Amino acid sequence: MVDMDGMHFPGMHMRWEKDEACPFINLKKYGDFSEYFSRLGKSLRKDITRRRRMLDGLGELSYHVYGRDELEKALQVLPQFLDAHEKKWPNSFKMPGFHEALLTSGLPVGLVHFSEIRIDGNPVSWELGFRDSSKAYSYMPAYRNEYSSYSIGKVHLAWLIEECFQNGLSTFDFMRGAEEYKNDWTDLQADTHRYREFAGGFQSRIKLFADGAIKQVKHLVRLSHICFFCGIFQKPFVFVET
């Protein structure tokens, strides 16, 4: 492995810099979910067990993964999922039509994984992620705010990881962002790097920054979800800034 942090190129204003880490779980280290769960911190294990018992007391608790043939049902529940996410993270940008396209393109071919926790048949927590032949990628969780005191996000995450063991996957990837809660589930992470190119003068730097920002926005809008699928499973992630 090459450490590219701070690597300079002679005669040129460019460098590699470390960006956000991608925490992940190496599922192959454990025989099954029970062994993995037993190695989590005691407080986390107790909290998940207690909260699941409390949720079970509210009604029939179930975990559902939308199959490849359930696109229509997934699209029907998608607005509830997006509404819950908007209330939890109001400043999170959502490109109009993006998540509908994501489900439409990815669910029937098995690239997109969409799951929910239900109480008496009513969805209360969701997770939108991705799958390839051996890895799970956790992309976008959300849950109804009235269930936040039940740590339903932790309960859902435990269910997701258990499903990965059942399906024989090798890795559960939390994707970019070293949020503190991820440290409770794993001590492994993959580093990502950002490539920066600098112009010589101050005015040139400002112009390059503005031009680069505009190009990136146009690029995202033009490529939409197809570009996302092409890049989502590649590591390490490289972001080019000019």
Query: How much is the mean pLDDT over the chain?
Result: 82
Report the percent of the chain where pLDDT is more than 70.
71
CATH 3.40.630.30 residue ranges in the chain? 30-178
Q: What is the tens place of the pLDDT at every residue in 139-176?
A: 999 999 999 999 999 999 999 999 999 999 999 999 88
Runs of H (alpha helix) within 39-176: 42-56, 71-88, 98-106, 152-166
pLDDT of residue 177: 78
Least confident of 47-56, 82-91, 219-228: 219-228
Torsion (CA) 227, 106, 116, 67 in degrees, nearest 10: -170
CATH hierarchy code of domain 30-178: 3.40.630.30
pLDDT in tens, 47-63: 999 999 999 999 999 99
Distance CA 56, CA 62 (A): 9
Residue range 127-140: average pLDDT? 96
What pLDDT does 93 receive?
Answer: 81
Give 1-13 pLDDT, tens digit per residue: 444 444 444 444 5
* Distance of alpha carbon 150 from alpha carbon 55, whole angstroms: 7
